[in-house]
Amino acid sequence: MKEITPIAYFHSPLTSKFGIPRQSGLSENLIGHIVFEKRYRKKEALRGLDEFDYLWLIWGFSANKSLNECKLTVRPPRLGGNERLGVFATRSPFRPNGLGLSCVRIKQISEENIEVVGADLMDGTPIYDIKPYIPYVDCHPEAKGGFTDMRKWKRLSVHIPNKFSKEFGENELAALKDLLAEDPRPQYQHDATRIYGMPFGGKDVKFRVHKDLLEVIGID
């Protein structure tokens, strides 16, 4: 079998695994860029792509240090990080072949890159293939969603004081609020005095959480 190699790399304001959306499509304000390798920077490779709204990305969990470790059971965050399920019943990043699958919305297409919205990829992620999202075969609104149907994700209220919010542009600020509202903390941590740091857009965003309120307390 041919060894797969990246066709592109992803560029994002998220430079760490901490804070990355747990699924694609959770933030309509988070913008990223698919930057093609030189071999694929050809108009003919993208011909017809502008007729679609969404893409499937096949990519690699390149930041996982345990890519060679196969875990047959994992602990999904939505189940509180304590209950175990089979790896193939989850979207855990700890997979036998370290491959991810994400659906993202196309914002703009050029010969060298594709600007997309809502990706759950960190900066520098290798992309191995791109395919168009086709509604009549890819959309199944009546399908069962397993444990995600029974355990709804609770969003947090987010407060960013003006002295910190002015550090970001309008779109960046909206994306940051989306990401923080999804509660990036490990789900087994509930210490209201603990201060967390999340890299975003070249800055380190410091925050703490008390009950259902997340408050940004510093920007480094």
pLDDT tens digits, 81-130:
778 999 999 888 888 888 999 999 999 999 889 999 999 999 999 999 99
The domains located in the chain, with CATH, are 8-61+98-138 (2.40.30.70), 150-219 (3.30.2310)
Q: State the Cα–Cα distance between residues 71 and 86, nearest whole angstrom.
A: 9
Measured from the Cβ of residue 156, the count of other Cβ atoms closer than 10 Å reads 19
| Burial (0-12, 13-18, 19+ Cβ within 10 Å), 109 | middle
Q: Give me the DSSP letters along 176-216.
A: HHHHHHT--S-TT---TT--EEEEETTEEEEEEEETTEEEE
Pick from 16-30, 73-87, 97-111: least confident: 73-87
pTM of the predicted protein model: 0.89
Residues 78 and 85: beta-carbon distance below 8 Å: no
